[in-house]
Amino acid sequence: MLRVAMAWTPDEDATLAELAGQGKTKDEVAALMGRTRSGVESRARILHIPFSRRSGAYMKWTPEEDDKLRALIAKGAARSTCALGVKRGVRAVEWRAAHLGLRFADVPMRLFNRPDYLGWGNGRLEEAKRRWLAGESGKMIADAMGGGMTRSSLIAQMHRCGCKREASPVAKRIHGKRSAQKLRKAMKLKRPPLRPLPPKAEKPFRFKDIRHHFGFTPAAPWLPEPANDTARISHAELAAMHCRWPCGDPAKAGAFQPLFCGQPRQVGLPYCEEHNHRAYRYIGAAPLQTYGG
């Protein structure tokens, strides 16, 4: 029995190091210790235990080894037991068994890259169709025909060929019950009546025509009176309460010559009332501009 996902003991670590020092392969160590190959590899990597690569693992198979492998598989031996019996790796035993058309009892047969996979030629597809239409299950057909066929591969091939058979009475009864339940639920739903659509207008409505739609007549534009652009204070006299509208040429006016309007400015705005109307198209309800006061 394989010891999967169990903690390694100090005695097992010592045995692992001893077997690796004797030149055993990872598969042989896994079979001797009752561990998996991946478990032995990870533990050896943690303990920094090197494994030597034997040249015997790449030697050709002899007829005696083939006979011994056949006898072990016929007895129902697992892959690891067969690997110990022929003194080969588990991977080598797997590929040799596939080449000889043998099948282990502890692992299902693989489909891909296997020499024993016969495919769908030589009348196998017609035989599978006949059995499928006769009502046999996919598992029964795959086990009877063999040659690397599985239930999934058979069902997929039947669907690709468009080979459909009549559903069983049990499946029909279950499908009929589900359809009746869906119909009853749909009949119980009460949908509100649909509202009639409004009559279609002769001309499409446009947003820019909304003033004509409501009969709106725009008022005459408000034109503020022209402000009196008179410079009253200079830059040196400018304070927080003064209007900052320039009324002259800053290049010509000196530091002590009048340049700004100087009228009392509005709260939160930089200019007086007349100059604010000239400076802004829109003034908010609570302007927050401050100028030191």
First to last CA, the chain: 92
Each residue's pLDDT tens digit, 57-96? 457 888 898 998 889 888 888 888 888 888 888 888 888 8
Mean residue pLDDT across the chain: 76
Q: What is the SS3 assignment for the chain?
A: CCCCCCCCCHHHHHHHHHHHHCCCCHHHHHHHHCCCHHHHHHHHHHHCCCCCCCHHHHCCCCHHHHHHHHHHHHCCCCHHHHHHHHCCCHHHHHHHHHHHCCCCCCCCCCCCCCCCCCCCCCCHHHHHHHHHHHCCCHHHHHHHHCCCCCHHHHHHHHHHCCCCCCCCHHHHHHHHHHHHHHHHHHHHCCCCCCCCCCCCCCCCCCHHHHHHHCCCCCCCCCCCCCCCCCCCECCCCCCCCECCCECCCCCCCCCCCCCECCCECCCCCCCCHHHHHHHCCCCCCCCCCCCCC
Lowest pLDDT segment from 147-161, 184-198, 260-274: 184-198
Please report the pLDDT score of residue 112 as a whole number.
42
Distance of alpha carbon 95 from alpha carbon 86, whole angstroms? 13
Q: Which of 41-45, 87-91, 96-100, 251-255 has the lowest mean pLDDT?
A: 251-255
Q: What is the pLDDT of residue 190?
A: 62
Distance of CA 24 to the CA centre of its chain: 44
Q: Report CA 198 to chain centroid distance, whole Å.
A: 46
Give the whole-angstrom CA distance, residue 84 versus residue 32. 8
pLDDT score recorded for residue 34 = 86
Position 217, amino acid: T
Confidence check: pLDDT of 253 > 80: no
- Picking from 41, 53, 59, 149, the residue whose alpha carbon sits closest to that of residue 96 is 59
Extents of the domains making up the chain = 10-54, 61-100, 124-160, 227-293
Rounded Cα gap, residues 128 and 242, in angstroms: 102
Q: Which of 132, 121, 140 is nearest to 162 (CA)?
A: 132
Does the pLDDT value for residue 111 go beyond 50?
no
CA distance linking residue 138 with residue 135, whole number of Å: 9
Examine the pLDDT at 266 and tell me if it is beyond 70: yes
**Are 83 and 24 a contacting pair, CB within 8 Å?**
no
Mean pLDDT, range 144-166, rounded to an integer: 82
Residue type for 283, please? Answer: I
pLDDT greater than 60 at residue 54: no
Q: How far apart are CA 82 and CA 206, in angstroms?
A: 87
pLDDT at 109 over 50: no
Lowest mean pLDDT among 107-116, 227-236, 245-254: 107-116
